[in-house]
Structure 1
């Protein structure tokens, strides 16, 4: 498991160390640095997958700023602009899996590949150093999720060789088609009254918690390199006709990759989620927290960015009900302090209460209610 991430001169951060837990929740105002945390981890994964973290011949090891997972621009876009005692370079330090690795990149204003200092001193096998970050089971689902479509791509390499749903969830339907009979092995993730323990039936059961009555089917389209997703509602004689995703609310297609990512996770998996609550009713947002907590209880590691108090309260309830130990959670509230971002980290107790409630931390409901009652 990853235990901490330290960012120096990275985007909005001068210097910040964050504790990471089995379930880490990131929240705060817009442009306060939440997404930068996910992007830093995705940047390292992206650079590892491309081979850029390891020097080969005349090729210098470096951070690859623009590829499949993140597109961060150039050095000027990613370096904290008011650097001081920490110098001009960019540093990312990850601790966990009984290792601590520091990647320090040389700042170049217009470069999109930032050369690493001391790369020769880092083990060539980064996956052995930090298997949670660089091993199998990695998923990163960005906020700009794939939109409802008539068909979706069919990539054997993505879903079978990599087990990857795509950063926009674009391979989810094909993954579900290919792995629908796989068993969901974690008892924490299985819903007991589902038709079976298969990935498809458990996906339907969880989707029904988010949107009651929904059923789904993922199937290949003969003679093409695409797959089709369809939804029905109800059961038995009252079951509806099949609907294309384009004729169903955006929320179902948006949330499906998150459900599949959590249900297909194994111990040691790392799942990065941006705004999973988008397009969901408040009840569904609370169940989204229950799902992520169940994945964490089953051995996966979740790092989630959210703007939803329902997600926060869902996590607190999961702790209070004993579904996830309090010490398995970390909550970080991001806010701007002049030029840099700073972090306040309330602690969830075993009864679900929080150690502190800083100004601006999910207090808008109370602020609005005070005005209404005035």
Structure 2
């Protein structure tokens, strides 16, 4: 797990030390620097030449920034990009990058022609950030569609649902009957009566848990996946449980709205979490009702109680409040959660991200309440009174 990261001169982040935990929430208005923090991790992840040649790749499979001018804090006088990561048993890696104008990579200083054997063999590159225990979900997820693609590499080798959730149907088809790895994620309605033995059983399969948790977002929804013969495509459909009447007919995703399709990759990725995994999700609340957002906050918090590290970029006070309630219900979660609130600081000569560290106490109260964090409901209500 990454214990902390210090970022200097990256985009709008002038200089900031981030202590990290199992759950890290990034909040703030648009354009304040939240995505810049996420991109720091994605750049390291996609830089396959970092270990051998010391190159930080600005455009790759996870994010595309442009050139060095786009990535460097524009008011920097030192013309230097730096990351300091702490991980494991107090181990630290200091990355100090040089650059060329209009280049699409930064290069570690003194790394021309290759890095040192000590750097190449360091435990830094054994971290989950560079391995197969990694899931990133972009804010721009796959729109509702009946036909989905397959990917052996993503679903089987890397065990992920794709950066845009595009392989979620295939992932469910392959892994749906496997039990989830963390029992604290089992939905309260997981117990049922076996039709033959009449004994109470707990159904721990991924597909059952997906259906139960998705039911918190859209009551009664059940996911159906079908491999299309002789093709590299999957069929995704939804049915709804009707009390005393069984299930409805199958519905195409395009006929049930964006919320279910956008939430499905998020819920699947969280429930399929594995030990030591890093999960990064942008805007998990997109197109979801307020109650569903709060339930997502609760599920995210439950995942964070395990050996998993989660980074959530969100604009939702309901996701935050779901986490706050989870902390109040289980104070062991308190030491695992960090909240970072991003604002814009404007001086006479520069502007940059002002980032406030916020802690959640055992009663779910916040240590800081920056302007605009939880104000908008009251602001609009005051206009109606």
Normalising by the smaller structure, the TM-score range is over 0.9
Deviates more, 1:323-332 or 1:126-135: 126-135
Q: How many residues align?
A: 364
SS at the partner of 1:336?
A: strand
Equivalences for residues 270-285 of structure 1 within 5 A: 270-285=278-293
Structure 1, unmatched stretches of 5+, are: none
Equivalent position of 2:86 in the other structure: 95
- Report the CA distance shift for 1:118/1:177 in structure 2 as closer, same or farther (over 3 A): farther
Closer/same/farther in 2, CA of residues 129 and 61 from structure 1, 3 Å limit: closer
TM-score normalised to structure 2 length: 0.91
Does 1:166 find its partner at 2:158? no
Q: What are the superposed Cα offsets for residues 117-164 of structure 1, whole Å, 9 maximum, x if unpaired?
A: 245245324666552322332111110111112211111111111112
Pair 1:347-2:339 in alignment: no
What's the counterpart of residue 65 of structure 1? 58
1:240 maps to 248
Given that 1:294 and 1:324 are in contact with CA atoms closer than 8 Å, whether structure 2 keeps it comes out as no
Query: Is 2:149 aligned against 1:141?
Result: no
Q: Mean alpha-carbon deviation: is it higher for 75-84 or for 95-104? A: 95-104
| Residues 65 and 113, structure 1, Cα contact 8 Å, conserved in 2 | yes
Residue number in structure 1 paired with 2:216 = 209
Write the distance in 2 (CA, Å) between the matches of 1:112 and 1:270. 26
What secondary structure does 2:50 align onto? Answer: coil
Match of 2:109 in 1: 117
**For residues 7-55 of structure 1, what are the alpha-carbon distances to aligned partners after superposition, in whole Å with 9 as ceiling and x for unaligned?**
11101011111111111111011110001111110110111xxx21122
Map of 2:197 onto structure 1: none
Name 2:200's counterpart in structure 1.
Answer: none
Q: Which residue of 2 aligns with 1:222?
A: 229
Partner of residue 336, structure 2: 328
Alpha-carbon distance in 2 for matches of 1:74, 1:204: 43
Alpha-carbon distance in 2 for matches of 1:292, 1:324: 15
Moved over 4 A (4+): 125-130
Structure 1 position 198, deviation (Å): 0.5
Residue ranges of structure 2 left out of the alignment (5+ in a row): 193-202
Partners of 1:178 and 1:365 lie apart in 2 by: 43
Structure 2 equivalent of residue 18 of structure 1:
18
The answer to whether the 8 A contact 1:150-1:245 is kept is: yes
Q: Distance in 1 between matches of 2:122 and 2:206?
A: 31
With 262-271 and 311-320 compared, the bigger mean Cα shift is at: 262-271
Q: Residues 53-90 of structure 1: CA distance to partner in whole angstroms, max 9, x if unpaired?
A: 122xxxx3301111111011111111110003xx1021
Point out the structure with max Rg over C-alpha.
2
The 8 Å contact of residues 294 and 323 in structure 1, kept in 2 or not, is answered as: no
Q: Do the aligned partners of 1:8 and 1:15 also contact (CA within 8 Å) in 2? A: yes
Aligned partner of 2:297 among 278, 289, 294: 289
Query: Partners of 2:278 and 2:263 in 1: how far apart?
Result: 18
For 1:10 and 1:253, the matched residues in 2 are separated by: 33
Q: Which moved more, 1:71-80 or 1:185-194?
A: 185-194
Distance 1:26 1:17 in 2: 14
Alignment TM-score, normalising by the size of structure 1: 0.93
Give the distance between the partners of 1:54 and 1:129, measured in 2 at CA.
8
Shift in Å, 1:172:
1.3
